[in-house]
Each structure stands twice: as C-alpha cells, then as structure tokens.
C-alpha cells in the first residue's frame, strides 16, 4: 500500500476519538519539482494542523492561535523548531539523488487519556513508495526496499540512536502531545454536527448520503432499511478533511427511488460523544440531482421565454401606438385634405 499519497489523506490513518489523541509530523524533501518548496514540514494534533515550515520562509510558525500558548513556559520554542527544521532540511536534501525525486517522512505518537497508554510510529517513503519503518515492539527497523537494508543494519546496531528513539516515543513526544491537547482543548475536544445531503447524478445513479462539517472524525455513516442497517449494495467513502478543520464522509446506496421505497430507507449519522443519531429519510423531494437542476433550468428557460414573448407583444403595441400618434400629428397639421383649396391653413402646434 502506498503510504505517502498526500499529507491530508495520511492524516486520516489514525482515527480521532474522545480518548485517543495523536501528534504527527510530515517532512517532504524534493528536487526539481516545479512550484513546490524543496523542503516542507507540517505538524498535526488530532488531525488539526498546528505548525508549518518550508525552505522558502525558513521559519517555523504556528497554524493555530492556541499553539502560541506554549511560549509562556518555553519562550524559545519556535526558535528551536526553526533550527530543528533547518537541520532536517539539509539532511533531506543530502539524501536525495540527482533528478526529480521526493523523500517523505512521517512520525509521531498517540496517547490514550483514559489508560495513559502511548504508541509511536516512524515511516519513510521515497518517490511515493514505502522505504523503511520502525517496529515499536522490537525497536528495530524494517526495510521495505533493498536499498534500505544498509540503513536498517546501521541503525539497528546504533545503541545511542535506539536509546534516543525510545526516549522520544515513550516520553518526549507524549509529553508535548499532552501540552498541545491541554492548550487547544476548546478546539480539539469540541463536537460539531454536520449537514446531511442526499445526492444523485441521474435517476439511475446510486443515491449518495453526504455528511459534511462534523468534528471530530470519530463518526459513522450508514444506510438503514426498515430500522435495520444494510450492507448489500452499499459503498462507503473515506473520511476526508474540509478546509476549515472539520470533516466529511459519504455512503452510496444502489436503489431505484420509487414511491414504494420512499420512507423505508434512512441515512444515519453517528458522532462519538453524541447520543442522538442524525436520521435522513430517503424521499425523492429531498434528493439533490443534476436532473432536478436541468428540470429547474427548463422551467426557468420556459418562464423566461414566456416573459420575453409578452415583452415583445408589449413592445409591438407600443410601437403601433407611437406610429399612429405620429400619423395623427401629421394630419392635424392641416385642417382640410391635401386636395382642398388653398384656403386651408396649418393649425398651430
């Protein structure tokens, strides 16, 4: 499985629940990639971006206001983050071969705030493929490519490196994760219910139930028939992030929407920490579709055409009235026919 498809997709690998919190970092070093910095580093807490550094700005900065609270007890925090990123940038560039290449690194930890259990992960990718990873149970590295075996052998035998790794993933990373969660709890521990829509491209297409704007991403969305959850003819989509930090997901149902099935099917949304479900009944009038837009467009065009026709008739009538008035005025200029005698005189205006 390709590990490094894209930052925001990888963020979704670890589900956020009311008791599990995650801290993740992503580093990308690249060469000869147009319109993209040679090095980018971003950090996430519970799927929310908290930090950013790139080789253009060369400065680590907070992406959430509450992240700056940490400077109250650690004034040089962002200075250290910048220095750390600069070192990683140089290391990443040195590890790239000549040509167009991308080196990616993902690492972090998770913390259960009920059991206090912590876990960690470390994975590298090269040109979009898995390269090397760390097994936290045995504290040894696993090479996914033949080219990674020299690094695996060297790192497995480096006792100082392994001691630092254990310290980082069991103490350092969890301790900062707890600080971040505490500083941002008003944002990270909130719950937001979504808007739910029923969508259909054409009358013969599956009906897609889409929930968007919910938080956190510990959610479920499914179809139910006569009160029972169904799995046949159902296709689930992934939970994806929105630009505002909330999430979206969808689930499609293959069904012909007739009067007989209306009301029998329901789309159900469930959010961790919220007792009540959001239920949307399958009814033709509640489905948004291209066909309905086309029908609305046809009606609108027909109405517009009718209005234009009426307007055209009115314009013609106005023109006829104006012509008649003009002719009448020409006639009123003489008190007798043009063939009459010279005693006929022009009237005053």
pLDDT tens-digit map of 174-193: 999 999 999 999 999 899 99
Q: Which comes out higher in pLDDT, residue 253 or 18?
A: 253
Structure tokens at 29: 């070093």
95 and 155 part of one domain = yes
| Residue pointed to by tokens 């259960």 | 112
**Which residues are registered as beta bridge partners of 224?**
229, 266
Among residues 260, 282, 304, the one where a domain terminates is: 282
Q: What is the pLDDT of residue 331?
A: 45
Which of 65, 60, 59, 18 lies closest to 43, judged by CA?
60
Structural domain contains residue 238 = yes
17 and 44 part of one domain = yes
Name the strands in the sheet holding 219-225, side by side, starting at the edge strand that comes first in the sequence.
228-229, 219-225, 265-271, 278-281
250 and 167 part of one domain = no
Q: Is the pLDDT of residue 343 over 50?
A: no
| Cα gap 299→284, rounded to integer Å | 19
Domain at 105, CATH number: 3.30.500.10
Among residues 188, 209, 235, the one where a domain terminates is: 188
248 and 143 part of one domain = no
69 and 210 part of one domain = no
Q: What is the pLDDT of residues 33-53, one digit of tens each?
A: 888 999 999 999 998 999 999
Mean pLDDT of 132-159: 96
Quickly list DSSP for 120-176. Answer: EEEEEEETTEEEEEEETTTTEEEESSGGGHHHHHHHHT-HHHHHHHHHIIIIIHHHH
Mean pLDDT of 133-143: 96
Domain around 182: 7-188
14 and 155 part of one domain = yes
Q: What is the pLDDT of residue 323?
A: 46
Q: What is the pLDDT of residues 64-99, one digit of tens each?
A: 999 999 999 999 999 999 999 999 999 988 888 778
Mean pLDDT of 104-112: 96
Sorting pLDDT into bands at 50, 70 and 90, what band is 13?
A: very low
168 and 207 part of one domain = no
214 and 196 Cβ atoms separated by less than 8 Å: no
Domain count, the chain: 2
Largest Cα separation within the chain, whole Å, is 131
Q: Which stretches of the chain are assigned E, i.e. beta strand?
A: 20-31, 39-45, 48-54, 61-62, 101-112, 118-126, 129-135, 140-143, 195-200, 207-214, 219-225, 228-229, 234-236, 240-241, 247-253, 265-271, 278-281, 287-289
Reported pTM: 0.67
| Cα gap 44→52, rounded to integer Å | 10
Burial class of residue 162 (count of CB atoms within 10 Å of its CB; 0-12, 13-18, 19+)? middle
260 and 153 part of one domain = no
């Amino acid at each position: 499985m390709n590990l490094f498809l894209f930052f925001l997709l990888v963020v979704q690998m670890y589900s956020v629940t009311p008791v599990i919190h995650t801290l993740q970092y992503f580093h990308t070093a690249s060469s000869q990639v147009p319109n993209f910095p040679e090095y980018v580093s971003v950090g996430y807490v519970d799927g929310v971006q908290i930090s950013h550094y790139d080789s253009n700005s060369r400065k680590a900065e907070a992406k959430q206001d509450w992240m700056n609270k940490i400077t109250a007890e650690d004034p040089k925090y962002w200075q250290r983050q910048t220095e750390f990123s600069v070192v990683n940038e140089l290391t990443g560039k040195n590890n790239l071969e000549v040509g167009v290449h991308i080196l990616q690194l993902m690492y972090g930890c998770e913390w259960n705030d009920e059991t206090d259990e912590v876990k960690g992960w470390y994975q590298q990718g090269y040109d979009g493929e898995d390269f090397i990873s760390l097994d936290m149970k045995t504290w040894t590295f696993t090479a996914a490519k033949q080219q990674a075996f020299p690094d695996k052998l060297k790192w497995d035998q480096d006792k100082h490196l392994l001691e630092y790794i254990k310290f980082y993933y069991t103490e350092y990373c969890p301790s900062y994760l707890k600080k971040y969660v505490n500083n941002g709890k008003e944002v990270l521990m909130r719950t937001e219910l979504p808007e739910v829509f029923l969508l259909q491209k054409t009358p013969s297409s599956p009906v897609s139930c889409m929930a968007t704007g919910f938080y956190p991403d510990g959610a479920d969305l499914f179809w139910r028939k006569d009160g029972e959850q169904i799995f046949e003819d159902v296709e689930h989509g992934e939970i994806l992030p929105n630009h505002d930090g909330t999430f979206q997901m969808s689930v499609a149902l293959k069904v012909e929407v007739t009067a007989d099935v209306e009301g029998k099917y329901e789309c159900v949304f469930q959010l961790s920490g919220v007792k009540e479900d959001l239920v949307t009944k399958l009814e033709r009038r509640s489905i948004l579709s291209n066909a309905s837009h086309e029908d609305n467009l046809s009606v609108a065009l027909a109405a517009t055409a009718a209005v234009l026709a009426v307007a055209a008739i009115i314009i013609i009538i106005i023109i006829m009235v104006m012509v008649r008035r003009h002719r009448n005025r020409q006639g009123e200029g003489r008190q007798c026919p043009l063939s009459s005698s010279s005693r006929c005189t022009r009237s005053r205006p």
